[in-house]
Structure 1
């Protein structure tokens, strides 16, 4: 029997992916977010997808940042929040992700000037934390035992 392909993880590797995600592996966290978002091999759970995307996004994963922006824009797994949608889209856009640039520009039109300034300040603080991880965060994100 051929294993079922789930997102970018074979179903037989789900537990390994989850274990690595729990240990702080950003790629595994992103993949787990995708699995829960799509409901492939597990019950679809937007809250769980947001949880894992957030863990990955906070380590600088632009795909997770983009997906969080979409989640906040649509209110999937979280209350709809255009300011947070802007923040996460902006962080992904700063890495050159074209779809995120487009979404960020849409969010600009949905925010009042004060909200936009607040969002930019928060995005800068998050980016600073990504660029300057603590020692324990460095140890977690350096784990490379993920099977791609």
Structure 2
């Protein structure tokens, strides 16, 4: 299974809870303990964003004592109130067993909850989970569904992985070409590499070695060694 990364974004938008605003001020001033106390108070009063921020600083342990169990409780409160990033964070904690009992079922469920709320990286992670089949039964159609949702939210790695599934499955090169093109145009070098291979071999597109060469060069310039090898063969 690919490495999972915990969300690291604090929420600082307008909020009706004074303690949330005061906590934000203290955090920005470098007074992390004070921020934690204020966010804890607001969280206990029902403010979801304060719960998320509290969970994140407790998880990262930035200038305060790291406390995974408390972080999980804070994330849980925020997740229940619709903060998708907190659901994502809980998913990662459950899959890793970070300070809580490792639970793959809960981890997948939290990713699914976050994905349904529009968290594209949760959808992407679910796509990988069902593609790899290490902690769930391998299911390529579910993988496609989650990658599609993530790609539609402009997550370029998801577009790339979805393109790979179209190639490896029923050899649907036309669909794969669209996805690799989106990934390449979105700045993902491996999308350019795979798109170049389609043009080189005439798969789903009219064969065009000149276009393939340009795509290989683009990916090569970004450090993709396989693309450099293809480019040299076309020089």
TM-score interval w.r.t. the shorter chain?
A: 0.5 to 0.7
Deviation for aligned residue 1:106: 3.2
Aligned to 2:77: 55
What is the aligned-residue RMSD (CA, Å)?
A: 1.8
Gaps of 5+ in 2: 1-9, 12-23, 139-235
Residue aligning to 1:102: 124
Determine if the alignment matches structure 1 residue 83 to structure 2 residue 105.
yes
Tell me if the contact between 1:33 and 1:52 (Cα under 8 Å) persists in the aligned partners. Answer: yes
TM-score (norm: length of structure 2): 0.43
Whether 2:71 is the aligned partner of 1:46: answer no
Structure 1 unpaired stretches of 5+: 1-6, 114-148
With normalisation by structure 1, the TM-score equals 0.66
Q: Displacement, 1:62?
A: 0.1
Looking at CA atoms only, which structure, 1 or 2, has the larger radius of gyration?
Answer: 2
Segments of 4+ moved more than 3 angstroms: none
Of residues 111, 121, 124, the one that matches 2:136 is 111
- 1:68 corresponds to 2:90: yes
Paired with 1:58 and 1:77, the residues of 2 have a C-alpha distance of 20
Deviation at 1:23?
Answer: 1.0
Aligned counterpart for 1:22 among listed residues 25, 30, 44: 44
